[in-house]
Homo-oligomer: A and B are copies of this chain.
Amino acid sequence: MISNKCKYAIKALTYIARNDDGTKAVMTSDIAQEQDIPRKFLEIILRDLRNNRILESKRGKDGGFRLLRPAEDISLTEIMRIIDGPIAMLPCVSLNYYRSCDDCDEKECEVKGVFEQVRDRTLEVLNGKTIKSLTLD
């Protein structure tokens, strides 16, 4: 399962992508209201995305958030990794968050192969999806 936080992040980003008309940044409070996300929680999420160079922010009056890159260059995998961490089902098959298993020898691990396949299938779908393509669905 992905976390609520991650789902909020995706919804917030698609909202920003749809509502940035080029004149002014998109405000936290608008996103929170329209997408039904707790405001203070959303602040944390947006700051996270900013710190990871997905968003840029502007403070003060008429402040808000903008995508730092075109929506078609932001993949779902990138967002999910920032917010939730690994996508793989086992640490030892994670591409971005690899950790060895304490309790088994990877060379003869029975389950590793299966979960590598799951990972690859999952990434085939998720890598192909961007904030842009989500807004078109």
Contacts and interface: CB of A to CB of B under 8 A. Distances in A.
Chain multiplicity (copies)? 2
Nearest to A133: B114
Interface residues of A, number: 33
A14 B11 CA distance: 41
B111 A10 contact: yes
A76 interface: yes
Interface of A: 1-2, 7, 10-11, 14, 35-37, 76, 86, 88-91, 103-104, 110-111, 113-115, 117-118, 121-122, 124-126, 129, 134-135, 137
A68 B137 CA distance: 45
- Between A11, A89, A91, the greatest number of chain B beta carbons within 10 A of the residue's beta carbon is seen for A89
Nearest to A136: B110
Contacts of A36: 103-104
